[in-house]
Amino acid sequence: MVCWVAERAQAAANVDRVIVATDSQQIIETVESMDIEAILTAPDHTSGTDRVAEVAAQIPDAKIIVNVQGDEPLISPATIERAVDTMAAEISKPNGAGIVTTWEPIESIDDVLNPDVVKVVLDENATAVYFSRSPIPYPRDAVKRHGSPDAALRNEPELLKLFRKHTGLYVYRRDVLLEFTKWPQSQLEKVEALEQLRALAHGVKIKVVEACTPSTGVDTFEDLERVRELIGAQTSDVRTQTV
């Protein structure tokens, strides 16, 4: 799966170098056997961001660092390109974003209510206001009419358009990434278990762009089975087209 993710990153036209950062010698050997660059990092990092920062510190010429998480085998190269292009534009602004990330529409009531699906609220300039595991924004009047968020969404399905799913792609200005890992966890970060809230607490502007296509992160065995089915279907489509 990690190799699959790396190959998707390599397919992004505006990414110059792809490195797998890991503390696993087995993963190092696996990805290098596929001619993918890898760096063995310290084993005591508390987050993927810290691991990426260790590698970024070794590449002083890189102004933009992209963090594609290894559990996103279906991430679109076009989505990576869009996020990188957005950061390239933000760098030139006096008060530009320090981080760019991505969102996807939420099409399922279960996803709105699922705490494992992180929601993001944006302002009029597509800048993140807040990230949460709770259903945000909270449709107060609809909940009053129907008694609960679940009932409100089932009776007024058009409310789904209010919600955006945050997806695990981050593009950092190098200086922001290196500073981020020095900051202590914020209270809201600890409460929600979402490290991007640390950046908001320190005044970092986070630009959020829509993903080009949906992606499916692999957090559970069920997710893995679903991704295998999707990849199998894509492979079958390719074979059908080339016959």
Residue 137 lies in a domain: yes
DSSP H or E run through 58: none
Whether the Cβ atoms of residue 168 and residue 83 lie closer than 8 Å to each other: no
Taking residues 118-130, what's their average pLDDT?
A: 97
Which residues on neighbouring strands pair with residue 223, listed in sequence order? none
Q: Does the structure show a pLDDT above 70 at 236?
A: no
In a domain, 3, yes or no: no
d(CA 112, CA 135): 6
pLDDT band at residue 65 under the 50/70/90 scheme: very high
Asked if residue 117 is part of any domain, the answer here is yes
* 243 pLDDT above the threshold of 60: no
In a domain, 181, yes or no: yes
Confidence of residue 235 (pLDDT cuts 50, 70, 90): low
Q: Higher confidence at residue 51 or residue 217? A: 51
Among 14-18, 45-49, 175-179, 189-193, where is mean pLDDT lowest?
45-49
Please give the pLDDT value at position 216. Answer: 73
Q: What is the mean predicted confidence (pLDDT) over 109-117?
A: 94
Amino acid 239: pLDDT: 46
- Asked whether residue 79 is domain-assigned, the answer is yes
Indicate whether 11 belongs to any domain.
no
pLDDT at residue 190 greater than cutoff 90: yes
> Is residue 14 predicted with pLDDT exceeding 80?
yes
Q: How far is CA 225 from CA 28, 183, 217, 230, in A?
A: 24, 37, 11, 9
Q: What are phi and psi of 201, to 5 degrees?
A: -65, -25
Question: What residue numbers bound the domain in which 203 lies?
Answer: 69-235
Give the CATH number for residue 168: 3.90.550.10
| Tokens 């320090």, residue located | 98
- How many folded domains does the chain comprise? 1
User: Which whole number is the average pLDDT over 77-96?
Assistant: 95
Tell me if 46 is assigned to some domain: no
- Which residues are 67's β-sheet partners? 170
- Residue 215 pLDDT > 90: no
Contact 119, 164 (CB under 8 A): yes
Q: What percent of the chain has pLDDT over 70?
A: 96
Look-up: residue for tokens 């945000």? 136
105 within a domain of the structure (yes/no):
yes
